[in-house]
């Protein structure tokens, strides 16, 4: 039986440093995308932060972007050539052994942000930027419901490597059984299903391996295609021109601050930062991110 790791609770100083690294990741991602005319949008809490705070939500410890499948394929074609490998590295389901998420991560070297229950995963886990991919799903609601269930099964099989340790006692045996499916087999099927889903354009899209926020089981494609410049922590990044429609659909009244008890961070067991940023944070970190 795998020994359970202890949760590390981020201090306010650590949270600010996590956000500083994530801003580096966002700026590097944006640099590559602008150079090659690749379209993307800030997503989730990062998009809310851009609109409501002109930067990070003060208690948020992650950063998200989203792009349609064609734009993502363009990004994949150039990322290894363009990336500043001295500071960053890239994880992707088709390129990183043991990586089982259907969305990619751009990570910072010489750092750590290890999610609780994922200590055993066979790859380095630096502070990251999530890069979500919006794939075509059916416009017909009943077909979209079937598609969503199909995506749910794929997601749970991929997650089983983590779930067999990190889930409840009731679910662990199920994940142990799902984890018997070879990684190469489920990844091969995932690639097939991505091709199948994107064989013709639809007006509705979703990330195949990430749950949607409601039972609509998808989002309007235009929300991720029609973008504009947005200010974010003094940088200029890209966000949906339809941010209000999208964020209200997904989160409701996103301009209203949630109660303190719902301002949660991710459960992590380890966090560390690039050595060169420690002194920099002490001298100007609070001024930039306070």
pLDDT digits (tens, 9 = 90+) for 237-255: 999 999 999 999 999 999 9
Per-residue pLDDT for 223 more than 70? yes
Using alpha carbons, select from 37, 38, 45 the residue that is nearest to residue 232: 45
Q: Above 60 in pLDDT, residue 288?
A: no
Q: Is the pLDDT of residue 283 over 80?
A: no
Mean pLDDT of 270-276: 94
Alpha helix (H) residue ranges in 85-238: 141-166, 172-178, 183-197, 222-225
Q: Is the pLDDT of residue 289 over 60?
A: no
CA count, 13 A, side-chain hemisphere, 114? 20
pLDDT classification of 284: cutoffs 50, 70, 90: low
Question: What would you measure as the largest C-alpha separation in the chain, in angstroms?
Answer: 56
3 compared with 231, residue with greater pLDDT = 231
Q: What is the pLDDT of residue 287?
A: 46
Q: Dihedral, CA atoms, 145, 148, 152, 155, nearest 10 degrees?
A: 180
Contact 237, 183 (CB under 8 A): no
Query: What are the residues whose beta carbons fall under 8 Å from the beta carbon of 124, sequence distance 6 or more?
Result: 89, 107
pLDDT in tens, 14-73: 999 999 999 999 999 999 999 999 999 999 999 999 999 999 999 999 999 999 999 999
CA distances from residue 223 to 32, 126, 197, 204 in whole angstroms, order as listed: 21, 30, 19, 10
Short-list 281, 270, 251, 192, CA closest to 46 = 251
Task: Indicate if the pLDDT at residue 281 is higher than 60.
Answer: no
pLDDT band at 286 (very low <50, low <70, confident <90, very high): very low
CA–CA dist 184, 196 (Å, integer): 18
Calculate the average pLDDT of the chain: 94
- Tens-digit pLDDT profile for residues 75-129: 999 999 999 999 999 999 999 999 999 999 999 999 999 999 999 999 999 999 9
Q: What is the pLDDT of residues 139-172, one digit of tens each?
A: 999 999 999 999 999 999 999 999 999 889 999 9
Q: Identify the pLDDT of residue 265.
A: 87
Give the per-residue pLDDT at 276. Answer: 84
């Amino acid at each position: 039986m795998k020994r359970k790791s202890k949760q590390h609770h981020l201090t306010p100083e650590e949270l600010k440093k996590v956000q500083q690294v994530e801003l580096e990741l966002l700026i590097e991602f944006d640099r590559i995308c602008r150079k090659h005319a690749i379209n993307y949008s800030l997503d989730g809490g990062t998009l809310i932060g851009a609109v409501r705070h002109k930067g990070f939500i003060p208690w948020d410890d992650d950063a998200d972007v989203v792009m349609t499948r064609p734009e993502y394929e363009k990004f994949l074609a150039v990322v290894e050539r363009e990336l500043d490998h001295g500071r960053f590295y890239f994880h992707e389901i088709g390129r990183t052994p043991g990586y089982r998420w259907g969305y990619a991560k751009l990570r910072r070297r010489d750092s750590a942000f290890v999610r609780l229950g994922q200590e055993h995963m066979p790859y380095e886990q630096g502070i990251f930027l999530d890069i979500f991919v919006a794939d075509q799903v059916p416009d017909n609601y009943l077909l979209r419901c079937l598609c969503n269930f199909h995506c749910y099964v794929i997601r749970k099989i991929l997650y089983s490597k983590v779930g067999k340790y990190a889930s409840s006692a009731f679910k662990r045996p199920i994940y142990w059984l799902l984890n018997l499916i070879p990684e190469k087999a489920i990844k091969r099927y995932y690639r097939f299903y991505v091709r199948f889903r994107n064989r013709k354009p639809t007006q509705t899209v979703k990330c195949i391996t990430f749950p949607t926020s409601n039972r609509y089981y998808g989002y309007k494609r235009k929300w991720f295609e029609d973008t504009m410049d947005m200010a974010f922590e003094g940088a200029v990044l890209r966000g949906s021109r339809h941010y209000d429609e999208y964020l209200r659909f997904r989160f409701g009244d996103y301009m209203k601050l949630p109660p303190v008890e719902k301002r949660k961070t991710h459960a992590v067991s380890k966090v560390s930062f690039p050595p060169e940023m420690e002194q920099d944070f002490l001298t100007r970190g609070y001024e930039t991110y306070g």
